[in-house]
Amino acid sequence: MTFSGTAKLLSNSNLGLISANPLFNRTVTLQRAPLGSSTWTNVATDSVAFDGVWSVVATSTTGGIFQYRGRFAGETGLASGTSNVYNVQWITLGCPS
């Protein structure tokens, strides 16, 4: 399954010319947690493209419902941030007998 998003600064007139600029060349981490859990595990990372887009592919060998989110860890002058949380149900199929 492919997860993607756009990482950019907030659109805010107080930021002037950098308002809504993409976070080019920064790292976004896809994280996963079991449904209802607050313990997040890093799944994959991607470097943000010039236009602000990031994209990673995730798979699961475990069935169940998991929460996924993108996370920017922050850096000097830039606060950390997370995307909305999305629930995904993975179904594992047994081999035919």
Q: If DSSP codes are grouped into helix, strand and coil, which group holds residue 8?
A: strand
Q: Give the residue among 81, 80, 72, 70 at the shortest CA–CA distance from 5.
A: 70
Q: If DSSP codes are grouped into helix, strand and coil, which group holds residue 30?
A: strand
| Tens-place pLDDT, residues 13-62 | 766 666 667 788 889 999 999 999 999 999 999 999 999 899 999 998 88
Q: Which residue has the higher pLDDT, 5 or 94?
A: 5
The pLDDT of residue 97 is above 60:
no
The pLDDT of residue 95 is above 70:
no
Provide the residue ranges of all domains of the chain, joining segments of one domain with +: 2-90
Distance (Å, whole) CA 49 – CA 45: 12
Q: Which residue has the higher pLDDT, 84 or 24?
A: 84
Distance (Å, whole) CA 93 – CA 61: 10
CATH 1.20.910 fits 2-90, yes or no: no
Q: What is the pLDDT of residue 96?
A: 59
Q: Round the CA-based radius of gyration of the chain to a whole number and report it.
A: 16
Both tokens of 9, joined, read: 């600064």
